[in-house]
Structure 1
């Protein structure tokens, strides 16, 4: 029997990409609401209760309301919003860090944010290994395609072709910081500098490190080796060779949808500095691809099914 799946918010960017990845997959019976029903609370409640699994592709407050609508059902939920990422009772849906078995057994799974996916993939294993300090004042410089900002930002970038670069979150307090701190095991949240460029998809997350000032003065080789060991069996996460260091790192406007995550360790010749860099598709491993990976795990299916790697 097919698994009944409801995508609440199926008309948004994340929802549309999830539906695309489900094309041709007969393991699932997709419960679909028409345009009028999508905003009807009763119809949404019925769909949430009828589904075996629901994926929420909604703004935070709407996601919280959807969870309330699902109360009393046995429906398992994957929330792609940031509403429940550090909430009690929810499992953080980053299989490589949290463990696939926890996600497989969970009823409530919260998808990681796109920026935190890059940051945590780089920093969390190294803090666990003791190579990086939990109380270091980390900084994160990141750039994303505009699709990560939702329909309003997509419309803005596509209407105003003069925008070359958009920095935001200038006052701090970004909503991604709690999950960055919690799942990296940090004493303090990092200083986060996000920005947007005129490309539909793609993301680079850059964590600069002064190795000579860090406790223990770790070497780039040690950081690279620890990440290589941590992700040795991953089908999703790849690690570039430590050397040679490339002359440049590019995001291409023509890049296709991709559900992997590429990590890089760039170390200076004198060993005093390093940059930890993650490259991903903000709509892939940063959103829709991650939701499908978690869905596959929760359904006991091969986790790469339907994904572009």
Structure 2
């Protein structure tokens, strides 16, 4: 059986990469609209009605409008926008978040795809909060860098036209749209300080969480808590720092759906940094959407995702 999938917004960066992951699969039939009808509400409504799953690759307000278009339909939705990530009517689509998350995704009518920065931050924070190694009210500072594809069409064009700087910081007013999601899904009660930045490369991401060490929070306990939480996971790897070396390369996971975690620092001076590296268009966007779709359709979770992953 070929399941019918409609990507609403398939011409955008995330939509294009989802399409590339699905178009050669025998078990998936993609529903396409003619370019001139991609914003036609009637045509989109008909496509949703035909589909088993609709994947929304749209700005937030357009995603909400798409959900309204599907009212009363059987079609299940995966939303790649920020619109529903803290909405308790939507299941959060990070399968590795908890032992129950896959089952919730499998049964869900609505699944909200995680954000790219959020995936890295939550992958670090949630297991450490659960293990008691981070307090839910602890004052955290998260630093991150992403390739420019995370900024959408305008930023991509700026870099491709060679009109952008080699590196810049942004979101310094502390209103970045991923912060509420990081708090809710990470289990935090105090707003973290989040400092994102963009580098002059297309895709790839590193998210850093600096932590002070003490008698309970050591390099070993941090690594062991993460390794235990993600044991036997296909797409989240916990790697000893000495296997990585002294340089973290944000592009190391590009072309994969893998998120790599590692703990770096020095016990003697009491400082550590936990780092997540991922492809912001892989596990941080398109790859995660395909993984969630596979779970929802009871297919091999890695289908269409293991090309360069292993």
TM-score (norm 2): 0.95
Distance in 2, matches of 1:179 and 1:256, equals 24
DSSP 3-state at the match of 1:96: coil
- Tell me the secondary structure at the aligned position of residue 267 of structure 1: strand
- 2:179/2:191 contact within 8 Å kept: yes
Determine if contact 1:146/1:199 at 8 Å carries over to the other structure. yes
Report the Cα offset of residue 51 of structure 1. 0.9
- Aligned-partner Cα distance in 2 for 1:190–1:256: 27
Structure 1 residues 37-46 or 155-164, which shifts more?
155-164
CA-CA distance at 1:88 after TM superposition = 2.7
Could you say if the C-alpha distance between residues 147 and 160 of structure 1 is closer, same or farther in structure 2, counting changes exceeding 3 Å? same
Which residue in the other structure is 2:193 paired with?
A: 191
2:51 is aligned to 51
Aligned to 2:292: 294
Q: Which residue of 2 aligns with 1:234?
A: 233
Secondary structure of 2:268's match? coil
Task: Tell me the distance in 2 between the aligned counterparts of 1:128 and 1:194.
Answer: 25
CA displacement at 1:256 relative to structure 2: 4.5
275 and 109 in structure 1: CA distance in 2 versus 1, 3 angstrom threshold: same
Where does 1:93-132 land on structure 2 (aligned, <5 Å)?
93-98=93-98, 99-132=101-134
Report SS of the residue matched to 1:36: helix
Q: Structure 1 length as normaliser, TM-score?
A: 0.95
SS of corresponding position for 1:270: helix
Find runs of 4+ consecutive structure 1 residues off by over 3 angstroms.
Answer: 242-245
Residues 148-198 of structure 1, C-alpha deviations (whole Å, 9 max, x = no match): 111111001111355111211011111101110011111112100000011
- 1:87 aligned residue: 87
| Residue pair 2:256, 2:283 contacting (<8 A) in 1 also | yes
Change (3 A) 1:278 1:255: closer
1:226-263 Cα deviation digits (max 9, x unpaired): 111111110001111144772212234x9751110000
Aligned to 2:197, what secondary structure does the other structure show? strand
Aligned counterparts, 1:67-86, within 5 A: 67-86=67-86
Q: Check whether the contact 1:219–1:271 (CA below 8 A) recurs between aligned residues.
A: no
Note the alpha carbon deviations across 1:46-68, whole angstroms, 9 max, x for none: 11121110000000000000000
Question: How far apart are the structure 1 equivalents of 2:188 and 2:62?
Answer: 30
Q: CA deviation at 1:18?
A: 0.3
Aligned to 1:265, the other structure's residue is in SS state strand
Aligned mates of 1:118, 1:88 — CA distance in 2: 21
Identify the residue that residue 146 of structure 1 maps to in structure 2.
Answer: 148
